[in-house]
């Protein structure tokens, strides 16, 4: 995507480019140079996550501001970046030179023009090796699951190329530790009903010497657990209600023969089964009640999060205010 003319307030914007990195000496200099050329007014931050190669030296030589996060994992790096950096617009990408820096001005423009809080750079790859088949399948499966659980989703929930408003970044709790952070980011936007957008962007192969840090099965399992955990927290009625419905159905299946026998003979020959069915039904009712109680708690917590999110001005409003004062 080619860059377009910036809106009047763009010159007053503080734009930060955030690049989490781990052992990316083969790609980081190219990545930094690309973003500096695409957004020359932006500050480029490289957060090194205990690299054992020359990532830090290469990033600094390319003109980036280099910082360190000792806690291993992309989620830990994202949490540190969001906490440390003060800006109006945040552009986050990976340091492996797979995302197209030239698309960044267009993503920023889209966020400002439509007053969005997040724009996702959905990946479109022309190179088979750039986006492995297993990762494509996993992306489709998890995207569909997220859509079913939360009602709506994105076409690429795992994209690491995103543009955020300040109010998104400063209202995001960032609790994940690893690659599941993209899922947490997506759910945060969906739960608070934020205005978001998605733009198709080019996705290329890694340069020679750069290797993916994503483990298909280990990280896939962690992402699945994150989705289910967030579903339990954000949709307690559906989660505990589904468990309650299963227990109630099981209790009914066990109880029907007993009721039929009692209707015919007036006797309950399988007394332990009757106790089990009764216990299952009691647990089912308790489970549903727990879901209702937690739903009230979640609604209150969501209202607090929403109010905190709204305490920050919309994208571009701070810049407009600074222009009026100057």
Cα separation, 31 vs 241, in Å, equals: 48
All residues at 6 or more sequence positions from 110 whose CB lies less than 8 Å from its CB, including other chains: 116, 119, 163, 197, 199
Token readout for 232 is 């339990």
Q: Tens-of-pLDDT digits for all 326 residues of the chain? A: 444 444 445 557 899 999 999 999 999 999 999 999 999 999 999 999 999 999 999 999 999 999 999 999 999 999 999 999 999 999 999 999 899 999 999 999 999 999 999 999 988 864 444 445 555 666 677 777 777 777 666 788 888 999 999 999 999 988 888 878 888 898 889 888 899 999 999 988 777 766 666 666 676 777 778 778 878 888 899 899 999 999 999 999 999 998 888 888 888 778 889 899 999 999 999 999 999 999 999 888 888 988 989 988 888 776 555 545 55
Closest by CA to 150, choosing from 223, 246, 227, 243, is: 227
| Entry pTM | 0.77
User: pLDDT digit string (tens) for 147-175?
Assistant: 777 766 678 888 899 999 999 999 998 88
CATH 3.90.550.10 fits 8-234, yes or no: yes
CA distance 282 to 32: 60
CA distance 63 to 130: 27
Q: If DSSP states are collapsed to H, E and C, what string results for 273-307?
A: HHHHHHHHHHHHHHHHHHHHHHHHHHHHHHHHHHH
pLDDT digits (tens, 9 = 90+) for 32-77: 999 999 999 999 999 999 999 999 999 999 999 999 999 999 999 9
Residue with tokens 């914007």: 13
**What is the Cα–Cα distance from 257 to 265, expressed in whole angstroms?**
12
């Amino acid at each position: 995507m080619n860059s377009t003319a910036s809106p009047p307030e763009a010159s007053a914007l503080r734009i930060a480019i955030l690049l989490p990195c781990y052992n990316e000496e083969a790609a980081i200099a190219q990545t930094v140079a690309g973003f500096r050329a695409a957004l020359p007014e932006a500050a480029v931050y490289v957060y090194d996550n205990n690299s054992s190669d020359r990532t830090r030296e290469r990033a600094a030589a390319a003109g980036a501001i280099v910082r360190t996060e000792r806690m291993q994992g992309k989620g830990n790096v994202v949490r540190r970046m969001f906490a440390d950096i003060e800006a109006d617009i945040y552009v986050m990408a990976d340091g492996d030179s797979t995302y197209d820096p030239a698309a960044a001005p267009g993503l920023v423009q889209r966020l400002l023009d439509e007053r969005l809080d997040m724009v996702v750079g959905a990946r479109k790859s022309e190179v088979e090796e750039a986006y492995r088949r297993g990762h494509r399948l996993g992306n489709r499966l998890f995207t569909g699951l997220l859509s079913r659980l939360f009602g709506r989703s994105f076409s690429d929930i795992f994209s690491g190329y995103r543009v955020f408003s300040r109010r998104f970044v400063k209202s995001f709790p960032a609790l994940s530790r690893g690659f599941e952070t993209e899922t947490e980011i997506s759910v945060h936007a969906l739960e608070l009903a934020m205005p978001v957008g998605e733009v198709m962007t080019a996705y290329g192969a890694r340069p020679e010497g750069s290797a993916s840090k994503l483990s298909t099965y280990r990280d896939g399992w962690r992402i699945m657990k994150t989705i289910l955990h967030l579903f339990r927290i954000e949709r307690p009625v559906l989660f505990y209600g589904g468990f309650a419905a299963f227990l109630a159905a099981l209790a009914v299946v066990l109880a029907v023969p007993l009721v039929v026998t009692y209707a015919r003979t007036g006797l309950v020959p399988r007394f332990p089964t009757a106790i089990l069915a009764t216990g299952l039904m009691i647990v089912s009712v308790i489970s549903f009640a727990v879901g209702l109680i937690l739903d009230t708690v979640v609604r209150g917590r969501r209202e607090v999060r929403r109010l905190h999110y709204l305490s920050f001005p919309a994208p571009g409003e701070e810049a407009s205010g600074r222009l009026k004062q100057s």
